[in-house]
Amino acid sequence: MMASIYHQPNISENPTNCDHLPLTLPPELVGEVLLNLVGEEKSPLPLDFLASSMVCQTWNLEACHVVRDKNKWFISTFPPEGYSSADFQRFAKLIVESKRIGLNFHISIEEMLVGISYIADGEEYLRIVEAFRSILELQPPRLFYLEIHLASISLPLPSFVDHPRTLLDKIEPYCGAINSLALVDDETRSTPLAPVADFVTSLSSHLDEILLGPIKLDAQMHTALAQCTALKETYFDNMPSHDLPSVLPLWPELRRFAFEQSRSDQCDMSATITTLARSCPRLTAFEYEGHEATTPAVSNEALCFLVESCPELREFKMQENKAMDDTVLASLLDHAHALEELELYRCGNITGQEALVGERAGWWPNLQRLSLFGCEELSPAFVEKVVEMCPRLRSVYVLYFSRDNPEELVETFSRKGFVLTNNTTWEWEKS
């Protein structure tokens, strides 16, 4: 007879006797059970896994092994969709209870998304607010990133609910360790910004990074952002740009500036970029995404001034700027000696010919990645020169390789140890 998978304890002959030890599973089988509770097809909130981990010490130990190996289920908490309001409230209760009995799943949480996909009424809203508060009250020691979907916490509710202030005021006392904040809105809604501005102000002293979009920078938001004097990184997604020049001088420690201009924004970004160059000389990363058909082009003068004013620039990414030409490319060669990544997307006026004329002191000695998409006028000779002259280059993406492989350029790539991986990307392989 095949041996049972259960460890059989001594059991009284009386089947109603509850004093005997329960049947126990071997640890390896417990581990298999727990893994099945967190499969890819399961809910993004590991509810059954959390509940099962509290059965006994053996189950808890195996759950800890699963979390150690599959940490992704707790690092980023509350994906934006895929679970119900009831699921979320149950998760909050389970994670709070798990800490109470000495389990430490909450310490794995690094990112938290505050968003509500569906709310039936004001009472349910308040229950969800309490769930968010209870999780943050645990003070997860690794939690640094908070993302708030403003549209979802500003849904029409009964008058007794002051939203989004109700939620923001509840969670604010427990956000002292947050140094990265994302505030995401919906262009079709008009979120009350006064409570949002107050929330930003309360976190301002310890914010290193902020992402906004699309949010109008009214007087209150402008004042709140002005308090964030230690900012290192800013991301503006589909934002109006006319208010930025007045706030940039207040961020002297800024290292990264990323901006996607709204399609409806007709403001010339040149003034903003010039102010950025004057105010943030230690900038290391610059990203701009325009919309060629609708937004004004950024002037070459402003871009050259930025490059010349920020000698520590390591990343330069430009998308859909119909005016950018070889003068900016030449400025990058002459001044951006720390450059590690260059990405140009649909900058149709660039040819690279000016860079090939005359002798230059250096060709980006630290460049590791070059990405060129939709730059139809760019000379293959320029790309070949970059491959020849940049000793740390590891990846080159050029779209036109999919339909045209200049023989000399292919030969240069091969000689330098690059392999074509997917018709558009050349990757360097260590010999």
Q: Are residues 81 and 217 in the same domain?
A: yes
Contacts 24+ apart (CB under 8 A), 84-91: 84/118, 85/116, 85/117, 85/118, 85/119, 85/120, 85/124, 85/127, 85/128, 87/43, 87/45, 87/47, 88/45, 88/128, 88/131, 89/127, 89/128, 89/131, 90/45, 90/47, 91/45, 91/47, 91/50, 91/131
- Residue 309 counted as domain residue: no
d(CA 291, CA 262): 8
Average pLDDT in the chain = 80
Tokens 């934002």 found at: 239
65 — pLDDT class (breaks 50, 70, 90): low
Tokens 């109470």 found at: 100
Other C-beta atoms closer than 10 Å to the C-beta of 273 total 25
Phi, psi of 116 (to 5 degrees): -130, 110
Which of residues 231, 264, 295 is at a domain's end?
231
The parent domain of residue 46 ranges over 23-70
Q: Are residues 170 and 49 in the same domain?
A: no
Residue with the bigger pLDDT between 209 and 347: it is 209
pLDDT tens-digit readout, 293-350: 666 778 999 999 999 999 999 999 999 888 889 999 999 999 999 999 999 998 888 8
d(CA 3, CA 309): 76
Q: What percent of the chain has a predicted confidence (pLDDT) above 90?
A: 33
User: Of 154, 39, 46, 155, whose CA–CA distance to 103 is shortest?
Assistant: 46
Q: Are residues 91 and 209 in the same domain?
A: yes
pLDDT, average across residues 1-19 = 40
Q: Are residues 159 and 225 in the same domain?
A: yes
72, HSE (Cβ side, Cα atoms, 13 Å) = 6
- Residue 399 counted as domain residue: no
- Residue 323 counted as domain residue: no
74 — pLDDT class (breaks 50, 70, 90): low
d(CA 172, CA 185): 19
Q: Are residues 207 and 122 in the same domain?
A: yes
Q: Are residues 55 and 93 in the same domain?
A: no
Q: Are residues 50 and 175 in the same domain?
A: no
Task: Calculate the alpha carbon distances from 85 to 103, 127, 191, 382, 400 in Å.
Answer: 24, 9, 21, 55, 48
Q: Are residues 81 and 219 in the same domain?
A: yes
Q: Are residues 38 and 99 in the same domain?
A: no
Which stretch of 55-69, 169-183, 266-280, 413-427 has the lowest confidence by average pLDDT?
A: 55-69
Q: Are residues 42 and 136 in the same domain?
A: no
Question: Is residue 425 within 8 Å of 397, Cβ to Cβ?
Answer: yes
- Residue 6 counted as domain residue: no
User: Of 335, 275, 287, whose CA–CA distance to 310 is shortest?
Assistant: 335
Which of residues 36, 70, 104 is at a domain's end?
70
pLDDT tens-digit readout, 19-28: 544 556 555 5
User: Of 247, 235, 237, 238, whose CA–CA distance to 271 is shortest?
Assistant: 247
What pLDDT is attached to residue 354?
Answer: 79
Residue with the bigger pLDDT between 209 and 217: it is 209
CATH assignment at residue 111:
3.80.10
Structure token digits, residue 206: 């310890």
Q: 292, exposed or middle or buried, with CB in 10 Å at 0-12, 13-18, 19+?
A: middle
Q: 119, exposed or middle or buried, with CB in 10 Å at 0-12, 13-18, 19+?
A: buried
18 — pLDDT class (breaks 50, 70, 90): very low
What pLDDT is attached to residue 17?
Answer: 44
- Residue 192 counted as domain residue: yes
Residue 58 pLDDT greater than 80, yes or no: no
What pLDDT is attached to residue 82?
Answer: 58
Q: Are residues 122 and 190 in the same domain?
A: yes
Residue 400 DSSP label: G
Q: Are residues 31 and 108 in the same domain?
A: no
Residue 257 pLDDT greater than 90, yes or no: yes
Residue with the bigger pLDDT between 10 and 224: it is 224
Phi, psi of 279 (to 5 degrees): -90, -25
- Residue 266 counted as domain residue: no
pLDDT tens-digit readout, 273-292: 999 999 999 999 999 998 76
- Residue 141 counted as domain residue: yes
Which of residues 70, 104, 132 is at a domain's end?
70
- Residue 136 counted as domain residue: yes
Task: Please count the structural domains in the chain.
Answer: 2
User: Of 158, 79, 92, 171, whose CA–CA distance to 125 is shortest?
Assistant: 158
